[in-house]
């Protein structure tokens, strides 16, 4: 099923939670709604589900206006961060619940229910827990059961609100890979809310970056990460160094250094800020006349495959974060306090609009 929202506007009192949002969610794809706390992700998800009503705008399911359809008629399955499984019911009964409460004409037979629940528990790889009660499960197991329960009624849309938010980092990582594989098997149009950029980039087919009730960018993980549409997106999707300066005909001057910015050839004398990720900096020992930003190595943390370096610019004392392979770090034998030179291998410059 395709999902689309058109010109959705939602206020809570004077506060604008969603400001004219229009988005398409293609059939069978997994979309991540990503953004900082309070940007409106959950509100948008609840509006799509029919749990919340927009002040204006439409929700389209398979191109039909579903704005006035009841939650039940929208055929959505939910999984929330703290999904309350029924504590007094076994895992089996929890998953069977949605089937048992169907109207008599739609309710499957006891045999069909048993087979279906068994299949679903196998799908989430927890069939061996069928007779346990929720308090006897780990957090990760509970979320997988919650997902099996949501899938039992064969939803046409799956909505997940920070489904792994309450779990520790290692379990989260395992479950997000697992969710991706499950989605590849089932192809149910799915939307999941997260404020974790790594999770969104790893799992989703498309990412919607939200900020203060608006959409900053929609694109594939590759597009939003490598071609961020705004400084906000750049900053939100990972650590970044900012170099302030001026751009003139393809060259950016920042402090005592300057470097080429080919895409900005033709831009004449504008204020600009270069955004450079820590691993996109080339680092060498300083030699007289070397081109680039001259820095002092204030701290190096070299454990595992990567060395993380804290650098301080000599010209303006600003701090720079850099990452290089530990192999290269050991090869160069860099010491704290040494003078180095850094050059961006990859950067994106946002130029301030010139006033006319």
Distance of CA 271 to the CA centre of its chain: 31
Rounded distance between C-alpha atoms, residue 94 and residue 153, angstroms: 12
| Structure-token match 């929890």, residue found | 94
By the rule CB under 6 A, 86 interacts with ligand ATP = no
* Contact between residue 8 and residue 209 where contact means Cβ atoms under 8 Å apart: no
What minimum distance in Å lies between the beta carbon of 12 and ligand ATP? 3
Min CB(198)–ligand ATP separation in Å: 15
Interface residue with ligand ATP among 3, 23, 25, 42 (CB under 6 A) is 42
Q: How many residues bind ligand ATP (CB under 6 A)?
A: 11
Task: Provide the minimum distance between the beta carbon of 193 and ligand ATP in the complex, in angstroms, as a whole number.
Answer: 6
Which span (30-38, 64-72, 97-105, 289-297) binds ligand ATP, by CB under 6 A?
30-38
The pair of structure tokens assigned to 301 is 């943390």
- CA distance readout (Å), 292 to 145, 210, 259, 281, 313: 54, 35, 7, 10, 11
By the rule CB under 6 A, 82 interacts with ligand ATP: no
Q: Which is nearer to ligand ATP, 230 or 339 (CB)?
A: 230
Pick the binder of ligand ATP from 4, 5, 29, 43 (CB under 6 A). Answer: 43
Return the range that interacts with ligand ATP (CB under 6 A); candidates 41-49, 123-131, 200-208, 306-314: 41-49
Select 9 or 156, whichever has its Cβ closest to ligand ATP: 9
- Measured between alpha carbons, how far is residue 99 from residues 1, 51, 96, 105, 124 in Å? 21, 21, 5, 12, 18
Among 7, 12, 73, 345, binds ligand ATP (CB under 6 A): 12
Which residues inside 179-198 make contact with ligand ATP, applying CB under 6 A?
195
Segment interacting with ligand ATP (CB under 6 A) among 23-31, 38-46, 103-111, 272-280:
38-46
Q: Which stretch binds ligand ATP (CB under 6 A): 32-40, 200-208, 247-255, 337-345?
A: 32-40
- Taking CB under 6 A as the criterion, the residue among 3, 17, 85, 341 binding ligand ATP is 17
CA distance 200 to 197: 5
CA gap 293, 84 in Å, rounded: 54
| List 29, 40, 164, 216, residue binding ligand ATP (CB under 6 A) | 40
Residue 38 engages ligand ATP in binding (rule: CB under 6 A):
yes
Is 163 a binding residue for ligand ATP by CB under 6 A? The answer is: no
Q: How far is the CB of 161 from ligand ATP (least distance, A)?
A: 8
d(CA 334, CA 288): 17
User: What strand order describes the sheet that includes 15-25?
Assistant: 15-25, 3-12, 56-61, 64-65
* Distance of closest approach, residue 51 Cβ to ligand ATP, in angstroms: 11
Residues recorded for the chain? 356
- Residue number, 39 or 283, with CB nearest to ligand ATP: 39
Q: Which of 5, 21, 41, 142 binds ligand ATP (CB under 6 A)?
A: 41
- Of 233, 257, 236, give the one whose Cα is nearest residue 245: 257
By the rule CB under 6 A, 317 interacts with ligand ATP: no
- Looking at residue 91, the DSSP 8-state letter turns out to be H
Residue with tokens 């149910």: 188
Q: What ranges in 22-109 are assigned the alpha helix state H?
A: 41-49, 91-100
Return the range that interacts with ligand ATP (CB under 6 A); candidates 40-48, 58-66, 112-120, 282-290: 40-48
The burial class, CB within 10 Å (0-12 / 13-18 / 19+), for 169 is exposed
Site of tokens 């794809």 = 29
- Among residues 39, 40, 81, 42, which one has the least CA distance to residue 236? 39
In sequence order, the β-bridge partners of residue 356 are: none
Provide the binding-site residues for ligand ATP, judged by CB under 6 A: 12, 17, 35, 37-43, 195
């Amino acid at each position: 099923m395709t999902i689309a929202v058109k010109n959705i506007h939602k206020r809570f009192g004077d506060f604008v939670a969603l400001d004219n949002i229009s988005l398409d969610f293609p059939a069978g794809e997994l979309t991540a709604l990503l953004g900082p706390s309070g940007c409106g992700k959950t509100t948008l998800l609840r509006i799509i589900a029919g749990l919340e009503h927009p002040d204006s705008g439409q929700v389209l399911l398979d191109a039909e206006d579903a704005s006035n359809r009841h939650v039940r008629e929208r055929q959505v399955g939910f999984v929330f961060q703290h999904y309350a499984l029924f504590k007094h019911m076994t895992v089996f009964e929890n998953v069977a619940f949605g089937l048992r409460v169907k109207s008599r004409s739609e309710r499957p037979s006891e045999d069909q229910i048993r087979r279906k629940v068994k299949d679903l528990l196998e799908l989430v790889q927890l069939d061996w827990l069928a007779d346990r009660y929720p308090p006897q499960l780990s957090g990760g197991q509970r979320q997988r059961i919650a997902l099996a329960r949501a899938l039992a009624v064969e939803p046409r849309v799956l909505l997940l609100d920070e489904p792994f938010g309450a779990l520790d980092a290692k379990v989260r990582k395992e479950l997000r890979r697992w969710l991706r594989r499950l989605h590849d098997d089932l192809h149910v149009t799915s939307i999941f809310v997260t404020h974790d950029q790594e999770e969104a980039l790893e799992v989703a087919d498309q990412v919607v970056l939200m900020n203060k009730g608006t959409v900053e960018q929609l694109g594939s993980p590759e597009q939003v990460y490598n071609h961020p549409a705004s400084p906000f997106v750049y900053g939100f999707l990972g650590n970044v160094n900012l170099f302030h300066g001026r751009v003139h005909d393809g060259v950016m001057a920042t402090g005592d250094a300057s470097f080429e910015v080919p895409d900005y050839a033709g831009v004449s004398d504008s204020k600009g800020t270069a955004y450079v990720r820590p691993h996109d900096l080339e680092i060498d020992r300083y030699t007289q006349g070397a081109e680039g930003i001259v820095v002092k190595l204030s701290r190096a943390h070299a454990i595992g495959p990567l060395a993380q370096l804290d650098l301080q610019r000599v010209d303006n004392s600003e701090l720079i974060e850099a990452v290089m392979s530990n192999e290269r770090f050991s090869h160069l034998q860099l010491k704290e306090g040494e003078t180095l030179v850094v050059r961006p291998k990859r950067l994106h410059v946002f130029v301030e609009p010139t006033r006319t």
